[in-house]
Structure 1
């Protein structure tokens, strides 16, 4: 695997830490800026909305730029946004920097995915994307806890400065490692061709799978800390350790998914989503049993992230003529799930159904994701059936020739 792929993962780690660490900084941010915690929580929503909108907009806007130039530009904007955020005199300025930073991060994600697959052979795309995506998993395991600890000892602004430093390191190393110019592209990129390529119905079904599968994973994680302390009876001081266990499970799932994404994509989807749905339902039923809950937290991490390399690599297969825009819209699909399913979980809690209800939401969304995956498989079988050449009768004296199995293969 080229070193540049790992450095792209480092960039995702740095920026992904910023995406998720704010959840642990909210009390300090609210107290320092004189706003309520719910108002401070809107900073998380602002980042997610910026990701949803920014990915496709910036992917198209920078389509004619060399990828190396686009990646560096996105990181420079991200660094600038966090410098201003760390110095923000009030809530309004910080809110604006979160949107700007999210735009830059979304653009970086999209171009990083396209760059990673362009640096490896066709049979290693899923593995390359799993390496890049592992940066986000490590952000939840290492970056978010580190940001929380730094905030507790030196204030929330110190956590922002930490992200600035880490992103700067990523920027400098990418400048050295990435090829210059656009030698890695087979032909000049065309906005019209990419927009046309993403109009395929099968691609949008894949986006639906992305939204639902990751939404099913993130909804329970969003409320895991209060569920552990108030339902399972875990001491508050041990919550970071259990959250880290979830992250370890996610890292394992991402690694396994990276190994099977290219060879068994649909099977990986079915097993991962099915396992996630079952684990969510079991957690809802057994949340009061601490030992079982801890095991299921690990299982949620594995099953929630094992599908990640598949849903990322499939878009390149379904839309090869849109190597930048297709993954950009997929980034938006991820963040639609991150935004909507925690809102659904919050509604069930507000309705008095308790914290285990969010796991039921995860199970329900997981079942919907499984249905979407079946839809995707059906579309793939239909497309392959149309490519099978008609059978012609053999001459009386000619030996019978078996149909090529590749034409009938369902890629799984």
Structure 2
């Protein structure tokens, strides 16, 4: 396997851990900071806001630099601010560092997606991108459960110290394994930003931001869902996270192959419909302790099968502004993160059980499927002369 793709996968691992570990240790952070779980979930939204701000900003102003140098800078930023978050002595520095630690996320996957597609063989672009996202799935398979275990039994600060070190490891992997690539001579700020003059660009933002919110309405509250509703012991939450991560691992591979086989847009439509169906079933069977384990795997697999197809939809629809579009896609993904966590908290604050956020996820995933279908009808199909 191409070592450059492995370096990108390391980045996916580090970023996946900093984003998704928060869900598994949310009760521990809430207890340590002496706040409620819905209040602690603001750290999820704050990170996502950092992604939204950082992704288009960093990509737009880094176009004149080589992809390798951009990726090195992003992982250095990741290493520093996750480290500060781990040792922050007061609330202001804690919130600020969490916000800034989200800056590299979207830009890394934006630049990394384009680099992976350039390194891939013709017709294998989505699968190459899925290798980068494999790092994120491994994060959910092994890294997040490990981080959750450390957070439960020792301290969430140790968890984020480890995550910071992973950023440094990624920096070194990119430095030694990533080939030097020339910066795009046609890449400039105005050309990149002009992508968002188009109406179909905003439709893609809506597809991602609303549709992927279904995933986050569920996973943001997975720890209290399985302990309070499914009656699973707290010490088995890491096992649940392993099953979610294993599902995401296979879902990521499935999504890449499906996108290359039937087209990215059709793969996304199928993915969102499947997600909505799965979350609907989950709502009704969440009280069953034994079914909670297979459903963690199934929901993770279905929910994460849309990652690579969405990235390919963006890249295919943004000729000349692929990097900016892919980064903006990650920003949109994290708008979905914020929307899912925020809207999912509403039934909880109203006194409903922790399986009710799944119904919020059903609505958001269904809307994502509808919007993706509109995109296919109005944008993709006309280009195919169907």
Measured in 1, the distance between the counterparts of 2:225 and 2:385 equals 48
Partner of 1:349: 348
Greater displacement, 339-348 / 81-90: 81-90
| Structure 1 match to 2:81 | 81
Match of 1:233? 231
Residues 1:281 and 2:280 are matched in the alignment: yes
**Counterpart contact for 1:220–1:358, Cα < 8 Å:** yes
The aligned runs of 1:43-54 (5 Å cut-off) are 43-54=43-54
Higher relative contact order structure (alpha carbons within 8 Å, sequence separation ≥ 6): 2
| CA-CA distance at 1:329 after TM superposition | 0.8
Matched residue, 2:247:
249
2:370 aligned with 1:371: yes
Change (3 A) 1:357 1:29: closer
What is the aligned counterpart of 2:256 among 246, 258, 265?
Answer: 258
2:188 maps to what in 1?
190
Q: Structure 1 294/29 Cα, relative in aligned 2: closer, same or farther at 3 Å?
A: closer
Distance in 1 of aligned mates of 2:22 and 2:235: 19
Give TM-score, length-normalised by structure 1: 0.86
Contact 2:44–2:338 (CA<8 Å) still a contact in 1?
no
Which residues of structure 2 form unaligned runs of 5+? none
Q: Distance in 2 between matches of 1:48 and 1:319?
A: 23
TM-score by length of 2: 0.92
- Determine the C-alpha separation between the residues in 2 that align with 1:229 and 1:150: 18
CA offset at residue 24 of structure 1?
A: 4.2
Cα displacement (A) at 1:144: 1.7
State the match for 2:17 in structure 1: 17
In the other structure, the counterpart of 1:160 is 160
Q: Are the aligned partners of 2:147 and 2:159 in contact in 1 as well (CA < 8 Å)?
A: yes
Q: Which structure is larger by alpha-carbon Rg, 1 or 2?
A: 1
Number of residue pairs matched?
Answer: 384
How many angstroms apart in 1 are the aligned matches of 2:151 and 2:299? 28
- Go from structure 1 to structure 2 and tell me whether the alpha carbon gap of 1:27 and 1:232 turns closer, same or farther (over 3 Å shift): closer
Q: What CA distance in whole angstroms lies between the structure 1 residues aligned with 2:123 and 2:153?
A: 46
C-alpha displacement of 1:132:
1.1
Cα deviation per residue 1:202-229 (whole Å; 9 max; x = unaligned)?
2322222222232112211222222222
Cα offsets for 1:70-121 (capped at 9, x unmatched): 1111111221213333332222112211122111333222222222222223
Measure the CA separation in 1 of the matches of 2:237 and 2:154.
Answer: 21
CA distance in 1, matches of 2:59, 2:187: 11
- For 2:128, the equivalent position in structure 1 comes to 128
User: Residues of 2 paired with 1:145 and 1:336: CA distance?
Assistant: 24
Cα displacement string for residues 12-49 of structure 1 (whole angstroms, at most 9, x for unaligned residues): 211321222234445655666x5535555433322111
